[in-house]
Amino acid sequence: MRSIAERGAELRERVRASDVVAISQMISALEGRTELGLSLRKDLYTMGGTAHVIGVTGAPGCGKSTLVAALTKVLRQRGLTVGIIAVDPSSSLTGGAILGDRIRMQEHTLDRGAYMRSMSSRGSLGGVSRATVDAVAVLDAAGWDVVIVETVGVGQADVDIVRIAHTTIVVSAPGLGDDIQAIKAGLLEVADLHVVNKADRPDADKAIAELLGMLTLGGGFGDGWDIPVIGTSSVTGQGVQELADQLTAHRAWLRDGGELGRRSRAAAVARIRALAYELLMERLDDPTKGDGFDAVVDAVTERRLDPHTAAADLIDRVAATT
Amino acid sequence: MRSIAERGAELRERVRASDVVAISQMISALEGRTELGLSLRKDLYTMGGTAHVIGVTGAPGCGKSTLVAALTKVLRQRGLTVGIIAVDPSSSLTGGAILGDRIRMQEHTLDRGAYMRSMSSRGSLGGVSRATVDAVAVLDAAGWDVVIVETVGVGQADVDIVRIAHTTIVVSAPGLGDDIQAIKAGLLEVADLHVVNKADRPDADKAIAELLGMLTLGGGFGDGWDIPVIGTSSVTGQGVQELADQLTAHRAWLRDGGELGRRSRAAAVARIRALAYELLMERLDDPTKGDGFDAVVDAVTERRLDPHTAAADLIDRVAATT
């Protein structure tokens, strides 16, 4: 039986050589938080840094998955390798959404330059963000040119993923309901590119005009990047080449204007904070310090102690024993 | 000019006397994280503990707000005071959803026993959860009988709110799209009560049957509470009295079976963890330790250092200087 270190070294080299089986194994090891996975996280980070990480987000029902499949096809035709991480909000009880994704992506499954992985967000608290960020790091370390992260457009995972993406595409579609539009509006501010999908529909022009109006209302950001609004259609194929062009343009702008450095720094801050939290929770859960934590929780449950004082005491305790 | 302590003591006594102006002021002070607000958080916690906290969640478009208004009317008729905290996902750019809520709630605005407050989730990371939990604590401390927290049914805020609710109602409606159904499915496991709203629609019976099927598939929880599925209609008023009855029944079950203690303990754990994280971030951001944090971020940004090692170093440093 080989040691964790030996198995880790082999897996790391296979990932570096873009071996898709090794990539899948490493993502699973990280998702499952196995000893092997955790031992490789540090190496992964320093191996990466070359991929163009693209976040694709938007309200449910806007056709994100189909758009990502169409975009992947165009990027592959341009000779780029494409990794896709799809964050799936569905529960194990249905599995509907993910099945749809997989069927739509099937035409790429025989293509070694297109890698697709779904992450379930079921039951996790912060777990999906961490697992997704780890999966991006694996594909980046493996030398993938483009890594696309597709999320459902609401919630914490999205916020975290926007922070690691170099370029964020916000997808909308004409004719969605009011509540959906409200969610979409919350995403307006994070967009580097807007896509109005289902542009073959008669009400698409109105949706594009409305978006352009909102962007004008919000004022330019004055940093030299004019946020484009691109109409796309999975039926006619309209707009997908233009989207690929704009992604290239945005990446060049990020590099040339110094924005890439700023975004990388913000991503590092977010990542360090998330990991510091994770570590803090692990130390609080440490059974050798368990008695203290349980006693504090009892006091808070019985309202003898408030949770603010409890939290401060615990941080000091974790601190004192390291 | 009175001191913070004097103003705090006065505000605290006015909240204890259920003064709605004082309640609003205190919620705002906590949301804005003013010195006055923060000084009162500890007191608030030990003052509360009597309210029945009800989470209402569900996919966009299922008619949650209208249902909450109808439920509030019934609870008021039964002599209970009702506080409502509505977490609104819309951006400042639209404001649509929140305006709708307010219009629907208007009939209660002249009733002193019904308090309504909206919290915007825009731009916050964890902030909305904290502000919402604080607002619940204020209404609880003020002696409100029932506190209803209404959320959009996706994302982190929901998870946090489910953790503080004694009873969670998951609302769905017939005829929503597939993506929406997938989100709903992710909420199935947290439901103590299911409501199928818009039960006046012809396809409602099918939706109720599907939910009952899913619940049977998932197996009973064997803890003595059979999760009811209630059809409601804001058009006909159907089911709202039954919903109020079931809420009372669930509360009695929580108390009698010891589950209330277990849920209170889980809520305390979640709250302590969230506050420990908040404190950790404050200490990392402390300008007197700022040089260290910036240097670490630089090293991670340039990939000289991995974020895992960085996080561990920072926790030790925060520990060492306290």
Q: What is the pLDDT of residue B101?
A: 46
Residue B279 touches chain A, beta carbons under 8 Å: yes
Residue in chain A closest to B320 (alpha carbons) equals: A319
Residue in chain B closest to A43 (alpha carbons) equals: B306
| DSSP letter (8 states) at residue B154 | S
Q: What CA–CA distance (Å, rounded) separates B319 from B236?
A: 60
* Neighbour-count burial for A156-189, b at 16+ CB within 10 Å, e otherwise: bbbbbbbbbbbbbbbbbbbebeebbbbbbbbbbb
Query: Which amino acid is it at B286?
Result: D
Phi then psi for residue A239, to 5 deg, are 85, -15
Predicted confidence (pLDDT) per residue in A298-307, tens digit: 888 888 888 8
The answer to whether residues A244 and A167 touch, using CB atoms and an 8 Å cutoff, is: no
Q: What is the pLDDT of residue B106?
A: 53
Phi then psi for residue A54, to 5 deg, are -115, 120
Q: What is the pLDDT of residue B44?
A: 87
Q: What is the pLDDT of residue B99?
A: 43
The answer to whether residues B27 and B134 touch, using CB atoms and an 8 Å cutoff, is: yes
Please report the number of interchain residue pairs, chain A to chain B, with beta-carbon separation below 8 angstroms.
Answer: 229
Q: What is the mean pLDDT of residues A275-287?
A: 75
Q: Do B154 and A152 touch (CB under 8 A)?
A: yes
The answer to whether residues A118 and A179 touch, using CB atoms and an 8 Å cutoff, is: no
Residue A103 touches chain B, beta carbons under 8 Å: no
Min Cα distance B77 → chain A (Å) is: 30
**Check: complex ipTM more than 0.90:** no
Listed as ranges, residues in chain B with pLDDT below 70 are: 88-110, 121-128, 153-161, 176-187, 217-223, 286-291, 318-322
In chain A, DSSP assigns E strands to: 52-58, 82-88, 114-120, 146-150, 167-172, 193-196, 229-231
Min Cα distance A177 → chain B (Å) is: 7
* A64-68, A87-91, B237-241: segment of lowest average pLDDT: A87-91
Residue A77 touches chain B, beta carbons under 8 Å: no
Q: What is the mean pLDDT of residues A135-154?
A: 88
Q: Do B301 and A277 touch (CB under 8 A)?
A: no
Tokens linked to A273: 């904070």
Q: Do A298 and B179 touch (CB under 8 A)?
A: no
Residue A217, number of CB atoms within 10 A of its CB: 8
Q: Do B280 and A276 touch (CB under 8 A)?
A: yes
The answer to whether residues A115 and B200 touch, using CB atoms and an 8 Å cutoff, is: no
- Spell out which residues of chain B touch residue A268, defining contact as CB-CB under 8 Å: 297, 300-301, 307
Q: What is the pLDDT of residue A233?
A: 93
Min Cα distance A244 → chain B (Å) is: 26
The number of helix segments (H) and strand segments (E) in chain A equals: 13, 7
What string of DSSP letters covers A198-240?
-TTSTTHHHHHHHHHHHHHHH---SSS----EEE--TTT-TTH
B 18-57 residues inside an 8 A Cβ radius of A: 41-43, 45-46, 48-49
Q: Above 70 in pLDDT, residue A99?
A: no
Q: Do A277 and B279 touch (CB under 8 A)?
A: no
**Most A-contacting residue of B103, B188, B265, B280 (CB-CB within 10 A), to test interface:** B280
Q: What is the pLDDT of residue A70?
A: 93
- Spell out which residues of chain A touch residue B43, defining contact as CB-CB under 8 Å: 306
Q: What is the pLDDT of residue A156?
A: 52
Q: What is the pLDDT of residue B169?
A: 92
HSE of B90, CA atoms in CB hemisphere, 13 A: 18
Predicted confidence (pLDDT) per residue in A171-184, tens digit: 888 876 554 554 55
Pairing of the two strands A114-120 and B193-196: unpaired
Q: Which of A106-110, A119-123, A151-155, B66-70 holds the top average pLDDT? A: B66-70
Nearest to A303 among B41, B46, B183 (CB): B46
* CA-to-CA dists, residue B81 to A79, B38, B51, B73, B203, angstroms: 65, 26, 10, 10, 35
Q: Do B314 and A272 touch (CB under 8 A)?
A: yes
Q: What is the pLDDT of residue A157?
A: 54
Q: Do B297 and A272 touch (CB under 8 A)?
A: yes
Quote the mean pLDDT of chain A: 80
- Spell out which residues of chain A touch residue B261, defining contact as CB-CB under 8 Å: 301
Residue A154 touches chain B, beta carbons under 8 Å: yes
- Spell out which residues of chain B touch residue A45, defining contact as CB-CB under 8 Å: 303, 306-308
* CA-to-CA dists, residue A110 to A3, A20, A51, A59, A157, angstroms: 33, 12, 22, 30, 29
Predicted confidence (pLDDT) per residue in B93-128, tens digit: 333 344 444 444 555 556 778 888 887 754 444 556
Three-state secondary structure call for residue A256: helix
Nearest-5° Cα angle at B99, B41 to B242: 75
Q: Above 60 in pLDDT, residue A220?
A: no
Q: Do A303 and B48 touch (CB under 8 A)?
A: yes
- Spell out which residues of chain B touch residue A314, defining contact as CB-CB under 8 Å: 272, 276
Q: Edge-to-edge, what's the strand order for the sheet holding A167-172?
A: A114-120, A82-88, A146-150, A52-58, A167-172, A193-196, A229-231
Q: Do B42 and A308 touch (CB under 8 A)?
A: yes
Residue B212 touches chain A, beta carbons under 8 Å: no
Q: What is the pLDDT of residue B244?
A: 97
* A150-159, A185-194, A256-265, B13-22: segment of lowest average pLDDT: A150-159
Q: What CA–CA distance (Å, rounded) separates A213 from A8?
A: 52
